[in-house]
Amino acid sequence: MKVAILPGDGIGPEIIDEAVKVLKALNLPLEMATAPVGGAAYAASGHPLPDATLALAREADAVLFGAVGDWKYDTLPRHLRPEQAILGLRKHLGLFANLRPAICYPQLTHASSLKPELVAGLDILIVRELTGDIYFGQPRGRRTAPDGAFAGAEEAFDTMRYSRPEIERIARVAFEAARRRHGGRGGKVTSVDKANVLETFQFWKDVVTEVHRDYPDVELEHMYVDNAAMQLVKAPKKFDVIVTGNMFGDILSDEAAMLTGSIGMLPSASLNERGQGLYEPSHGSAPDIAGQGIANPLATILSAAMMLRYSLQRPDAAARIEAAVQRVLADGLRTPDIHSDGTRRVGTAEMGDAVVRALS
Amino acid sequence: MKVAILPGDGIGPEIIDEAVKVLKALNLPLEMATAPVGGAAYAASGHPLPDATLALAREADAVLFGAVGDWKYDTLPRHLRPEQAILGLRKHLGLFANLRPAICYPQLTHASSLKPELVAGLDILIVRELTGDIYFGQPRGRRTAPDGAFAGAEEAFDTMRYSRPEIERIARVAFEAARRRHGGRGGKVTSVDKANVLETFQFWKDVVTEVHRDYPDVELEHMYVDNAAMQLVKAPKKFDVIVTGNMFGDILSDEAAMLTGSIGMLPSASLNERGQGLYEPSHGSAPDIAGQGIANPLATILSAAMMLRYSLQRPDAAARIEAAVQRVLADGLRTPDIHSDGTRRVGTAEMGDAVVRALS
Ligand SMILES: CC(C)[C@H](C(=O)O)[C@@H](O)C(=O)O
Ligand SMILES: CC(C)[C@H](C(=O)O)[C@@H](O)C(=O)O
């Protein structure tokens, strides 16, 4: 089993180190190879996603990704900025299905902005389509407005697009995930759209409704994106699986992650049709705390667990990591982002070491 | 001063009645004329925005709008559904600037999902562009995908567009609002974009930055939309004025409204370049409680106050209404949506009557 390790920028290298430490401690037949990505790759070789890095990712069974982005690179032209690496990997590897759990860990309920009774026990899954929508739709650019009330003025434009097969395959991922979360049958999928305004999302709603015929045991509900943004704040536990497009998913998955209060704990998986996947923490590169040894490595360690489950067919090893993380939390170890009175403050490496110890 | 009164569907007529009651009690030289809109108009005449209703709105100085939408009309073809009325009014009247305050009333802090310390005293303003973006951008529709990985498949598409003058005028509204909120100088504007992915919002960011040169006393910060969705949950009081496009504004303004816990209290204004405006509560038509006399009329009454301030140049009368609302809250009157122990539960009409009494 080949794993490409892409540490990236900011706290990326530190948190990846801990995840690699945990993977090594499992003594699995893993072949790990590291390559630069993001700002670090740009600094080294002039491009955020060098050909060699992309080639390594392509031939791997899975990619373990840290984080990219740093203020240093904010003034670069867009096609050279660190985020292009992640967009490029998604597109080139066809990683259309982004799975983002929003879980509120019992020990961390107090860290949420929301009242404890609203988030205690929260466990929802956001399935975000990741290779279509306005993120990649052509045409796009700047031009002189060809028509409309401001014809003749300078304008910029993008194209939102979804085709039937793109919607069908992500809908299936969501319905299957709902079943899996409920022992093989049942569960609920909330499909989030803006069918009252957008042609793309009226079509989305129609196709999701059609695909649902193959999953009669799963409940399907449709919700407008503005309402979904509200219901996540009001009653997040009413959701089970949320499925939506790339743009709405970007916003809602971050909103949901933040309201758990445990964003430093949340992994994510981005999968293609062949089961290849890219695994990364839900949080960003946090350049403000990089190099201080205080970043929380648990989201990355849990991303490695997702990798073992979804791309490497080792659910046993995944479960061992997850149990170990539960154990260190129960033991009261906390990085500064989740620290509270009565718990023990530890650094990045100490947390990784503790997870390794808890594996056995 | 001419005011068009458009009650609409669901609780619309009930809450509008109370706002009209309050306006009448002020004894101002207001000429009020009522017309059907939304589902009610469709039921009466076959179209959600009849020509006569649009004509009345056009010749009025302001429109006081209840709410539209009812499950009954969900199966109609899109162009006949109730929401088309509100989209049509925005477009035809050129109501490009949507002002949505997100305020947490001291007496209602407990009603928020968020911990009290995070929302107590919250008072932010969301300025949403309302006539451009992907809401109205042409071309849009269904077709056979002309290119891309799914060329040949059935697809739907929409166009996101912003021209320079559209961005300039909404940016000015936001900078002016920031100044007004801080006694004429200063304040902060957070411009929300997705410049890392979208051409439209890189252009947005560039133009807002240019317009900012005319407002050096106002602080300008740029934030990605996914981060804004998170920061609203994490630390909403860090914002002052948020300015963004139509689609992102739809999502963020509803998220912000919900996290105040006072959505039944929040008014909104939608203005055009001539100062004409449409005023409506931030909440919807709530068909589930329509006709029961329990809806909260305060958001609509406060929308009438905004109307007096922004379109009818009667800030004195607006302030009287706002003080009266504060008074009834201080007196402990609450409709069911904001009721809590130790306060007095009242119905829609009783709340309106109480505001009228508190005017004097
Ligand atoms: C960095 C950016 C392009 C990216 C996105 O918008 O998808 C990020 O926000 C994410 O959600 O992974
Ligand atoms: C009803 C709908 C078209 C509308 C919108 O999306 O603008 C509503 O959500 C709003 O925010 O006023």
pLDDT of residue B360: 86
Give the whole-angstrom CA distance, residue B219 versus residue A1.
52
- The question of whether B226 is a catalytic residue gets the answer yes
Q: What residue's CA is closest to ligand 2, atom 5? A: B250
Q: Binding site annotation covers A316?
A: no
Q: Binding site annotation covers A226?
A: yes
The reply to whether residue A150 touches residue B165, judged by beta carbons under 8 angstroms, is yes
- The question of whether A70 is a catalytic residue gets the answer no
Tell me if A108 is assigned to some domain: no
Number of other CB atoms surrounding residue A33 within 10 Å: 13
The reply to whether residue B156 touches residue A194, judged by beta carbons under 8 angstroms, is no
Same domain, B254 and B293: no
- The question of whether B254 is a catalytic residue gets the answer yes
Residue B146 near chain A (CB below 8 Å): no
Same domain, B280 and B180: no
For a mutational test of ligand 1's pocket, the pick from A6, A80, A87, i.e. the residue with the most ligand atoms closer than 8 A to its C-beta, is: A87
pLDDT band, very low/low/confident/very high, at B128 (cuts 50, 70, 90): very high
Is the predicted pLDDT of residue B74 greater than 90, yes or no?
A: no
Question: Which three-class secondary structure string do you get for chain A?
Answer: CEEEEEEECCCHHHHHHHHHHHHHHCCCCCEEEECCCCHHHHHHHCCCCCHHHHHHHHHCCEEEEEECCCHHHCCCCHHHCCHHHHHHHHHHHCCCEEEEEEECCHHHHHHCCECHHHHCCCEEEEEEECCCHHHCCCCCEEEECCCCCCCCCEEEEEEEEEEHHHHHHHHHHHHHHHHHHCCCCCCEEEEEECCCCCHHHHHHHHHHHHHHCCCCCCEEEEEEHHHHHHHHHHCHHHCCEEEECHHHHHHHHHHHHHHHCCHHHCEEEEECCCCCEEEEECCCCCHHHCCCCCCCCHHHHHHHHHHHHHCCCCHHHHHHHHHHHHHHHHCCEECHHHCCCCCEECCHHHHHHHHHHHCC
Q: What residue's CA is closest to ligand 1, atom 1? A: A83
For a mutational test of ligand 2's pocket, the pick from B9, B70, B86, i.e. the residue with the most ligand atoms closer than 8 A to its C-beta, is: B86
Same domain, B290 and B316: yes
Please name the residue of chain A whose CA is at the shortest distance from the CA of residue B77. Answer: A196
Same domain, A198 and A307: no
Tell me if A14 is assigned to some domain: yes
Q: Binding site annotation covers A128?
A: yes
Same domain, A142 and A234: yes
Which CATH number goes with the domain that contains A352? 3.40.718.10
Same domain, A95 and A126: no
Same domain, B101 and B145: no
> pLDDT (tens digit, 0 to 9) for every residue of chain A, 360 residues total?
999 999 999 999 999 999 999 999 999 999 999 999 999 999 999 999 999 999 999 999 999 999 999 989 988 998 999 999 999 999 999 999 999 999 999 999 999 999 999 999 999 999 999 999 999 999 999 999 999 999 999 999 999 999 999 999 999 999 999 999 999 999 999 999 999 999 999 999 999 999 999 999 999 999 999 999 999 999 999 999 999 999 999 999 999 999 999 899 999 999 999 999 999 999 999 999 999 999 999 999 999 999 999 999 999 999 999 999 999 999 999 999 999 999 999 999 999 999 999 998
| Interface residue of A122, A126, A161 to substitute, partner B, most B CBs within 10 Å | A161
Same domain, A289 and A191: no
Binding site membership of B255 for ligand 2 (Cβ less than 6 Å): no
Same domain, A302 and A183: no
Picking from B260, B281, B307, the residue at the C-terminal end of a domain is B260
Is the predicted pLDDT of residue B226 greater than 90, yes or no?
A: yes
Tell me if A294 is assigned to some domain: yes
- The question of whether B224 is a catalytic residue gets the answer no
Tell me if A106 is assigned to some domain: no
Give the whole-angstrom CA distance, residue B360 versus residue B342.
26
Q: Binding site annotation covers A284?
A: yes
Is the predicted pLDDT of residue B21 greater than 90, yes or no?
A: yes
| Interface residue of A199, A211, A282 to substitute, partner B, most B CBs within 10 Å | A199
Picking from B212, B229, B260, the residue at the C-terminal end of a domain is B260
Picking from A231, A260, A289, the residue at the C-terminal end of a domain is A260
Average pLDDT, integer, range B7-12:
98
Domain range spanning residue B217?
113-260
The Å distance, Cα B38 to ligand 2 centre, comes to 13
CA atoms in the 13 A half-sphere facing the CB of B6: 34
Q: Which ligand is nearest to the CA of B196?
A: 1
Q: Which of B73, B135, B162, B215 is catalytic?
A: B135
The Å distance, Cα A140 to ligand 2 centre, comes to 25
Same domain, B185 and B129: yes
Tell me if A107 is assigned to some domain: no
Q: What residue's CA is closest to ligand 2, atom 7? A: B250
Q: pTM for this one?
A: 0.97
Ligand 1 atom nearest residue B197's Cα:
3
pLDDT of residue A360: 86
pLDDT of residue A74: 85
Q: Buried b vs exposed e over B70-104: b needs ≥16 C-beta within 10 Å?
A: beebeeeeeeebbbbbbbbbbeebbbbbbbbbbbb
Same domain, B309 and B341: yes
Contacts of A141 in chain B (CB under 8 A): 199
User: How does pLDDT run across A29-81, given as a tens digit for each residue?
Assistant: 999 999 999 999 999 999 999 999 999 999 999 999 999 999 899 889 989 99
Same domain, B147 and B74: no
Please name the residue of chain B whose CA is at the shortest distance from the CA of residue A253. Answer: B226
- The question of whether B206 is a catalytic residue gets the answer no
For a mutational test of ligand 1's pocket, the pick from A250, A266, A283, i.e. the residue with the most ligand atoms closer than 8 A to its C-beta, is: A250
pLDDT band, very low/low/confident/very high, at B46 (cuts 50, 70, 90): very high
Q: Which long-range contacts (CB under 8 A, 24 or more apart) does A154-157 make?
A: A154/B163, A154/B164, A155/B161, A155/B162, A155/B163, A155/B164, A155/B203, A156/B161, A156/B162, A156/B199, A156/B200, A156/B201, A156/B202, A156/B203, A156/B204, A157/B137, A157/B159, A157/B160, A157/B161, A157/B162, A157/B199, A157/B200
Question: What is the tally of structural domains in chain B?
Answer: 2
Binding site membership of A273 for ligand 2 (Cβ less than 6 Å): no
The reply to whether residue A197 touches residue B257, judged by beta carbons under 8 angstroms, is no
